[in-house]
Chain A
Amino acid sequence: MEVEKPVESRCFDLQTELDRTEGANTEVLKAKSIAPIPDPDEWLEKSLERNILLTTVDTLVDWARRSALWTVICFPACCAFEFIATAGPRFDISRFGMEIIRASPRQADLMITAGTLTWKMAPQVRRIYDQMAEPKWVIAMGACGCSGGIFASSYSVVPGYNRIVPVDVYVPGCPPRPEALLYGVRMLQNKIAREHVDIKLPFPLTGTKKEG
């Protein structure tokens, strides 16, 4: 079946040859692909799985921040003992990576305001807050922390910690049970997980931004 072909059509001939090869490859792949590819987690090598993590910077940084919240000591009144009970053997706050209670505000990133705040104590609390390193969060624990509670009408009580420091999460109750405090901590952790992280590089990024 050998037929002499004109010279100018030689290129075409080669092309059809190529087409056939490509078609054959397609057929091979098609023959192989009768079933969907399983999830990579199922067949990827275990060592590879441990070493590669695909995520965004936001998620990574937020995860690191929320998983080890260290508390500063700010325990003016009754709620302190519910906090201590939370740190105690039964409720065990170390499950959330925060069993370390720091006496120095410079080593802490969470302030749990356990108790009534009086005007005499307010400057000290503000000072502790100012000394904490960024990023920092505040949980107002108890009715006194949220609004002054039953002492709100007193001449010496600050009606709520949010007059003095910005509060992220309010945990009501007089005093809140340890479960309530743990729920508040989880809420704060969820809040941190949603935060967007601005990373400031020490040098400006060069290169053009991709259009689109």
Chain B
Amino acid sequence: MTIKTEPFVINFGPAHPSTHGVFRMRVVLDGEVVLDLEPVYGYLHRGIEKLAEQRTYTGIIPLTDRLDYLAAMSNNLAHCIAVEKLAGIKVPERAEYLRVILAELQRLCSHLIAVGAFLNDSGAFMTPILYMLREREKILDLFEMLSGQRLTYNDMRPGGVSQDAPEEFLPALHKFVDQMPRYLDEYDQLLAKNEILLARSKGVGILSKELAINSSASGPVLRASGVKWDIRKAEPYSIYDRFEFEIPTGTAGDCYDRYLVRMLEMRQSVRIIEQAMKQFPSGEYRSRVPKLIRPPVGEVYSRIEAPKGELAFYIVSDSSIAPYRYHIRGTSLINLTALRDMIVGWKVADLIVIFGSIDICMGEVDR
């Protein structure tokens, strides 16, 4: 006699500890194996693109802070670069260096949370993320010195940064850069050959190279699949062409590779900050820009390498003080295109690990 079984539909989210916010998935299960999966988006859709059409170009910066709220500086940078391209604004040297330092600190900050949350999802609840939060607080102190905020900085402006770095910023940064490699060594010691982590993530959730390219994945997800593609190298924006760094890539495209790529990227970020500190010039921190920027009629698609991948803004200007159309390429949303292919066939416990390894931020998924 055969036992009659039928697939079982469970609802995962939107209020669930492992969904990194308010993501929701309808999962069809056969026992423990995932047969099918349908993501449901939109629980944090705040209409930023529409709101931006009623704001000035400087007034949009606080909105971009709240896109990927784990990497607000990178969002500010992407927006400012887009507006500068559109309006033809020059940026002074000192501001460029400050921007690169801030963007790389933000990458460290975002990857720390990404790795910590991934380990949280792998079953080490709360312990590893407390280590990561410890270092994150140190970076937030540096940001606070500059902008006075801990999470949403609103610090960069078209044509530079809102205020110059205070005297105590560089010594504090020096101290942090000296410490950080040792912390990274500590993580490696705890995690890189950790048997449980290897068992949970090695070979799990493989994203092939072809699918990664075809589904427009970007950032660490794309690089973990073995594609050597980093916009900082491919199309250097700001002054990234002056620094030496490598692009870490994975081979298998599994969860462990995505974790490893992030860990290696953090070391490269520290390397970039070290170089930028040595070359840090004095001078203006902001060029003279009108309060109300009126870019000429035209359009621009400007992209940067944000911690989560390619962050781009498509802005159409009608030479008024507000953009005519303001589109945001939500990196996290597009990285989720291949989610179903990665998860189907794995078990429920792996679903959470795979989802955690993509590292999404709901503010950017739904906008």
B21–A81 contact, CB under 8 A?
no
- Closest CB in chain A relative to B18 CB, distance in Å: 9
- Closest CB in chain B relative to A88 CB, distance in Å: 4
Secondary structure of the A contact surface, majority rule = loop
B44–A118 contact, CB under 8 A?
yes
Contact with A along B27-50 (1 / 0, CB 8 A): 000000000000000111111101
Q: Given the known A-B contacts A175-B152, A177-B150, are A77 and B15 also in contact in the complex, defined by CB atoms under 8 Å?
A: no
Q: Which residues 129-146 of B have a CB within 8 angstroms of A?
A: 129-130, 133-134, 136-137, 140
A75 cross-chain contacts in B, Cβ below 8 A: 15, 21-22
A115 cross-chain contacts in B, Cβ below 8 A: 44
Q: Given the known A-B contacts A78-B151, A85-B137, A128-B15, are A157 and B70 also in contact in the complex, defined by CB atoms under 8 Å?
A: no
Interface size class of B (residues with CB under 8 A): 20 to 34
Q: Given the known A-B contacts A76-B22, A120-B42, A154-B50, are A85 and B150 also in contact in the complex, defined by CB atoms under 8 Å?
A: yes
Secondary structure of the B contact surface, majority rule = loop
A169 CA to B46 CA in the complex, in Å?
24
B46–A103 contact, CB under 8 A?
no
A75 CA to B137 CA in the complex, in Å?
20
Does A121 count as interface, using CB distance less than 8 angstroms?
yes
Contact of B17 among A73, A124, A154 (CB under 8 A): A73
A153 CA to B150 CA in the complex, in Å?
25
- Closest CB in chain A relative to B242 CB, distance in Å: 32
B46 cross-chain contacts in A, Cβ below 8 A: 116, 118, 151, 154, 156-157
Does B16 count as interface, using CB distance less than 8 angstroms?
yes
B51 cross-chain contacts in A, Cβ below 8 A: 150-151, 153-154
B44 cross-chain contacts in A, Cβ below 8 A: 76-77, 115-116, 118, 121
- Closest CB in chain A relative to B65 CB, distance in Å: 8
Contact with B along A81-92 (1 / 0, CB 8 A): 110110011100
21 contacts between A and B (CB under 8 A): A73-B15, A73-B16, A74-B15, A75-B21, A76-B362, A77-B21, A77-B44, A78-B66, A84-B133, A88-B134, A101-B17, A103-B16, A116-B44, A118-B46, A120-B45, A121-B43, A128-B15, A150-B66, A151-B47, A153-B51, A157-B47
Binding site for A on B (CB under 8 A): 14-17, 21-22, 42-48, 50-51, 62-63, 66, 69-70, 113, 129-130, 133-134, 136-137, 140, 150-152, 362-363
